[in-house]
Amino acid sequence: MKITTKLWIVIVILIVLSPLGLIIPEYFKAGGAWGEWGADEMQKLVGYIPKGLEELSSIWKAPMPDYAFKGWEEKGLLHLSFAYIISAIVGIGIIVLVIMGVRKSVLKRGD
């Protein structure tokens, strides 16, 4: 089996496991996944919003906030898990396209 095939198998496994970041905190009633806090959650956790986070949160708006489609936030764990998987596929797709574009650009310059 080629190394690229093994890599894609691992990536698919990670995509399928991506909802664990949603399911495990829900199961243990732990709130949001560690490190995925927005400014409002940071305010609750530490009592203030770090200056850099406050500045950046007004600049960047995520295309899929909370990795979910608009209106799916309250539909339940199954819908959110599906949205996590779709988000992972889209993210990996974008990364692969960027890498392929950079590779093509570099190979053209090498000629």
Give tens-digit pLDDT for 37-63: 778 888 888 899 888 888 887 787 777
Which segments of the chain have a pLDDT < 50? none
Nearest in space to 66 (alpha carbons), one of 79, 54, 53: 79
Q: What pLDDT is stored for residue 111 in this prediction? A: 63
Q: What pLDDT is stored for residue 74 in this prediction? A: 79
CA 12/CA 58 separation, integer angstroms: 34
Task: Give this prediction's pTM.
Answer: 0.74
CA 74/CA 36 separation, integer angstroms: 18
